[in-house]
């Protein structure tokens, strides 16, 4: 097990590479998902406001 | 076939298709990545020359391949947009750029971390490394240009033109190790000839390459889906989506 | 095809071709400057910048590495099979440095035509294989050479 982490002496380079990869790949999944929720929420709120304005101008 | 393609350009149909595809490609990417990482980190034997440091290859090489592949997708979508003015082409191109830039960055960083123990330096201005860095700047320029222009249609056209003008960087990157003397070595994997990499080491590499492709499809569809929803926000089908979800 | 679209297609194609030609010409003009190292043949022919630091690349010749017993100083010869350059270096050599390996040395030529290196980098080729395969290949080569010498 120790040998696996030791990576033949190259542990720093190998694990830092995989670490950076993990950060980049995870960020590229989370950021768009968060934005998707944000945009849907904003558009939904705007739709509600538009409906209220329409109701006001009718009544 | 053209009717089918035309239907695909329809925002509502694309949106629904994206929703169905994303889970398959997303989970598929994860499974492939786990399998590839197990193969690359555990199963594959250490290299006769580079020892265990070569395992960086399982991130570095697929990331580099993706940096080129995604740019080709952007260039293709840009041409389609300029010629047929299909908005979806612009949406996909712009959604792809941050992912392509991320893979380019990853290729450069992992390459640097691999270069230090093997070559003895984190960086050298040879043709391969320099042209890949240039690709990163092109991606960033493309993204910056798109954000800087307010009018969506003008931005789309400017970005499409930029992408097409800069597509010449792709063959330069690919052939840099053949055309010039470089520190970076030549290609190990070839479609047409014998690959100079042992099979036990090659298989996880190809699995990771597939994993990254699946990953790209899933992520670009998530981004494109959101952008599409925003662009079509005034239509009825979007209103229905917002009410239901 | 729709005439407007056909025109756009032609324009886009012309754009790509035009830029490719422009960039191609630029790269050809830059020529040698894009090479990150000179070969021993080029050093031999005097094609290298004088007085400036530059890089020499080649393969370390078998049996040419001489280590100074009291310091890190080392002398070795690089070859590109046509010509050779002698290199002197005082410092830590990269992990991959050995006879038969490709290297890049950064430094200057002295008056005697010996290259005094300030930095040595190792090049490696595009082959990847486990040690057993490498051993097997070497054994096969030895047998081949033995047979040829008979």
Task: Provide the Cα torsion B102, B106, B112, B117; round to 10°.
Answer: 170
Exposed/middle/buried for residue B21 (C-beta within 10 Å: 0-12, 13-18, 19+):
middle
Note whether B161 and B149 are within 8 A (CB).
Answer: no
pTM: 0.91
By Cβ distance, the residue of B110, B113, B219 closest to A28 is B219
Least CB–CB distance from B49: residue in C37, C96, C132: C96
Average pLDDT over residues C124-145: 84
pLDDT of residue C136: 84
More confident residue, A50 or B4: A50
pLDDT at A4: 83
The minimal CB distance from A29 to the residues B41, B55, B219 is found for B219
Determine the Cα–Cα distance for residues B158 and B94; give it in Å rounded to an integer: 12
Residue C66, SS3?
strand
Q: What is the pLDDT of residue B1?
A: 55
| For residues B18-32, average pLDDT | 96
Tell me the average pLDDT across A44-55: 86
* Domain boundary assignment for chain A: 2-58
| Tens-digit pLDDT profile for residues C75-92 | 999 999 899 999 999 988
User: Is the residue at B192 inside a domain?
Assistant: yes
Q: Which residue of B has its CA nearest to C125?
A: B185
* Rounded CA separation B92/B94 (Å): 6
Q: What is the mean pLDDT of residues C64-72?
A: 87
B245 close contact with A: CB closer than 8 A: yes
Out of A13, A17, A25, closest to residue B215 by CB? A25
- Pick from B114, B135, B136, B112: which is nearest to B124 by CA? B112
A43 lies within 8 A of chain B by CB: yes
- Which of B29, B42, B53 to substitute to test the interface with A, most A CBs within 10 Å? B53
For range C125-130, the mean pLDDT: 87
Q: Are C65 and C76 in contact (CB under 8 A)?
A: yes
Q: Say what percent of chain C tops pLDDT 90.
A: 30
Res B128 pLDDT > 60: yes
Task: Say yes or no: B156 contacts chain A, CB-CB below 8 A.
Answer: no
In angstroms, what CA-CA distances link C66 with B20, B31, B210, C122?
66, 52, 48, 17
**Subunits that touch chain B (at least 3 Cβ pairs < 8 angstroms)?**
A, C
Residue B111, pLDDT score? 96
Q: What is the ipTM of this complex?
A: 0.90
C15-41 average pLDDT score: 87
- Tens of pLDDT, residue by residue over B155-203, are 999 999 999 999 999 999 999 998 998 999 888 887 777 788 888 999 9
- The larger pLDDT score, comparing residue B8 to residue C64, is at C64
| pLDDT tens, residue by residue, B38-57 | 999 999 999 998 999 999 99
Under a CB-based contact definition with an 8 Å cutoff, are residues C57 and C78 in contact?
Answer: yes
* B92, B224 Cβ separation under 8 angstroms: yes
- Give the 3-state secondary structure of residue B149: coil
Question: Could you name the CATH architecture of C36-123?
Answer: Beta Barrel (2.40)
CA contacts within 13 A on the Cβ side of C28: 6
Q: How many CB atoms lie within 10 A of CB B48?
A: 19
Residue numbers of the domain that contains B50? 44-203
Name chain C contacts of B164, Cβ cutoff 8 Å.
12, 15-16
Q: Is residue B226 part of a domain?
A: no
Asked whether the beta carbons of residue B183 and residue C19 sit closer than 8 angstroms, the reply is no
Residues above pLDDT 70, as percent of chain B: 96
Q: What are phi and psi of C21, to 5 degrees?
A: -65, -45
For chain B, the domain total comes to 1
Report yes or no on B64 lying in a domain: yes
Residues in CB range of C92: below 8 A, 6 or more apart: C72
* Angle between the N-to-C axes of helices B57-84 and B199-231, in degrees from 0 to 180, rounded to the nearest 10: 40
Q: How many CB atoms lie within 10 A of CB B236?
A: 9
What are C33-59's pLDDT values in tens digits?
A: 788 899 999 988 888 887 788 999 999
More confident residue, A28 or C51: A28
Q: How far does chain B reach from its first CA to its final CA, in angstroms?
A: 32
Residue B164 · residue C18 · CB < 8 Å? no
What is the distance between the alpha carbons of residues C15 and C5, in angstroms, rounded to a whole number?
15
Of B173, B179, B206, B171, which Cα lies nearest the Cα of B190?
Answer: B206
Query: In the predicted model, what is the mean pLDDT of chain B?
Result: 92
- Chain B touched by A54 (CB under 8 Å): no
Closest residue of C to B189, CA-based?
A: C126
- The answer to whether residue B177 is domain-embedded is yes
CB B31 within 8 A of CB C112: no
Overall average pLDDT of the B18-26 stretch:
96
pLDDT tens digits along C109-122: 888 889 999 999 99
Q: What is the dihedral of CA C50, C52, C57, C62, to 10 degrees?
A: 70
pLDDT at C46: 84
Three state DSSP letters for chain A: CHHHHHHHHCHHHHHHHHHHHHHHHHHHHHHHHHHHHHHHHHHHHHHHHHHHHHHHHHC
pLDDT at B34: 97
In a domain, B87, yes or no: yes
Tally Cβ neighbours within 10 Å of residue B24: 12
Determine the average pLDDT of the residues in B70-99. 96
Judge whether B130 and B104 are in contact, CB under 8 Å.
no
| pLDDT at residue number A47 | 86
């Amino acid at each position: 097990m120790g040998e696996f982490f030791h990576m033949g002496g190259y542990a720093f380079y190998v694990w830092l590479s995989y670490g950076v990869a993990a950060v980049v790949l995870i960020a590229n999944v989370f950021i768009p998902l968060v934005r998707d929720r944000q945009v849907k929420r904003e558009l939904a709120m705007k739709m509600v406001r538009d409906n209220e304005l329409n109701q006001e101008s009718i009544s | 076939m053209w009717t089918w393609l035309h239907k695909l350009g329809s925002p509502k149909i694309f949106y629904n298709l994206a929703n169905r595809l994303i889970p398959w490609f997303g989970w598929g990417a994860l499974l492939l990545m786990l399998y590839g990482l197990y193969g690359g980190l555990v199963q594959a034997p250490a290299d006769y020359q580079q020892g265990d440091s070569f395992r960086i290859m399982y991130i570095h090489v697929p990331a580099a391949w993706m940096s080129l592949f995604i740019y080709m997708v952007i260039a293709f979508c840009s041409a389609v947009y300029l010629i047929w003015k299909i908005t979806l082409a612009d949406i996909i191109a712009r959604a792809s750029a941050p992912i392509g830039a991320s893979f380019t960055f990853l290729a450069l960083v992992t390459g640097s971390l691999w270069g230090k123990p093997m070559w003895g330096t984190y960086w050298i201005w040879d043709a391969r490394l320099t042209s890949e860095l240039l690709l990163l700047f092109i991606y960033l320029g493309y993204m910056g240009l798109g954000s800087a222009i307010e009018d969506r249609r003008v931005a789309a056209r400017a970005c499409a033109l930029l992408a097409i003008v800069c597509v010449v960087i792709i063959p330069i990157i690919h052939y840099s190790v053949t055309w010039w003397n470089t520190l970076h070595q030549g290609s190990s994997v070839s479609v047409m000839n014998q690959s100079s990499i042992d099979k036990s080491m090659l298989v996880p590499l190809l699995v990771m390459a597939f994993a990254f492709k699946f990953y790209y499809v899933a992520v670009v569809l998530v981004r494109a889906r959101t952008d599409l929803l925003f662009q079509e926000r005034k239509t009825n089908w979007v209103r229905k989506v917002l009410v239901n979800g | 095809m729709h005439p407007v679209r056909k025109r756009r297609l032609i324009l886009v194609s012309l754009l790509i071709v035009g830029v490719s030609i422009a960039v191609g010409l630029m790269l050809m003009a830059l020529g040698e400057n894009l090479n990150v190292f000179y070969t021993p043949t080029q050093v031999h022919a005097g094609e290298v910048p004088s007085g400036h630091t530059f890089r020499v690349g080649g393969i370390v010749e078998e049996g040419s590495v001489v280590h100074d017993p009291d310091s890190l100083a080392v002398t070795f010869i690089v070859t590109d099979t046509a010509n050779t350059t002698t290199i002197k270096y005082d410092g830590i050599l990269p992990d991959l440095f050995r006879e038969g390996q490709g290297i890049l040395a950064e430094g200057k030529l002295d008056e005697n035509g010996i290259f005094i290196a300030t930095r040595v980098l190792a090049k490696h080729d595009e082959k990847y294989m486990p040690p057993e395969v490498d051993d097997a290949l070497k054994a096969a080569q030895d047998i081949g050479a033995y047979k040829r010498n008979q």
